[in-house]
């Protein structure tokens, strides 16, 4: 899957369903652009944001590769790899939503433990999952740790 497919899906939704995704912290941008913060990874283009505190999601300019979440206010750790690619990223949020991911910039354990306890996604996230064939990550902490090793942020 790619950004154009995600954009087309969101554009096809009725306004209230688009708003439901926005409320889950997945606000798809009209176009790709640099993140706009000093902490935004160079060479990456933002495709979505949570709608709060400048938190945004980006991928390399060729749209292939890891998805990085930038949390500008998390000064010690503003960038975290949150997906090996766009589908993997959406699979992370398809159960928990995307707002909660911001907290990873501040404290992994306090974020991951409650995420692992969620048992049912919202209707908006269920529709997104069905459309793109998404499966929630079975072990969020393990998957996130593996992504950080596979895609060291200092090389991004």
Token reading at 34: 């640099």
Question: What is the model's pLDDT at position 115?
Answer: 63
Question: What is the model's pLDDT at position 52?
Answer: 87
Domain boundaries, the chain: 3-149
Token reading at 46: 């933002």
Sign of CA dihedral 58, 61, 62, 65: negative
Stated pTM of the model? 0.92
pLDDT tens for the 156 residues of the chain, in order: 999 999 999 999 999 999 999 999 999 999 999 999 999 999 999 999 999 899 999 999 999 999 999 999 998 889 999 999 999 999 999 988 998 899 888 876 656 666 666 668 899 999 999 999 999 988 888 999 999 999 998 766
β-strands 27-33, 67-70 pairing: unpaired
Distance CA 154, CA 144 (A): 16
Alpha helices, H only, the chain = 3-12, 15-23, 86-96, 108-117, 123-132, 140-150
Distance CA 87, CA 117 (A): 22
Query: DSSP of 2-46, one letter per residue?
Result: -HHHHHHHHHHS-HHHHHHHHHTT-EEEEEEE---STTSPTTEEE
* Contact (CB, 8 A) for 75 and 87: no
Question: What is the model's pLDDT at position 138?
Answer: 86
Distance CA 115, CA 154 (A): 27
């Amino acid at each position: 899957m790619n950004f154009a497919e995600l954009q087309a899906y969101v554009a096809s939704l009725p306004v209230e369903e688009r708003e439901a995704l926005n409320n889950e912290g997945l606000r798809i941008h009209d176009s790709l652009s640099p993140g706009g913060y000093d902490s935004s990874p160079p060479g990456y283009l933002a495709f979505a944001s949570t709608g709060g505190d400048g938190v945004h999601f980006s991928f390399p300019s060729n749209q292939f590769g890891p998805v990085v979440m930038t949390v500008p206010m998390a000064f010690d750790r503003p960038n975290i790899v949150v997906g090996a690619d766009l589908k993997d990223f959406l699979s992370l949020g398809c159960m928990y939503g995307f707002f909660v991911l911001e907290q990873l910039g501040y404290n992994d354990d306090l974020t991951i433990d409650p995420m692992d306890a969620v048992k049912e996604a919202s209707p908006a996230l269920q529709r997104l999952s069905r459309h793109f064939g998404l499966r929630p990550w079975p072990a969020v902490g393990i998957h996130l740790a593996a992504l950080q090793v596979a895609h060291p942020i200092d090389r991004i």
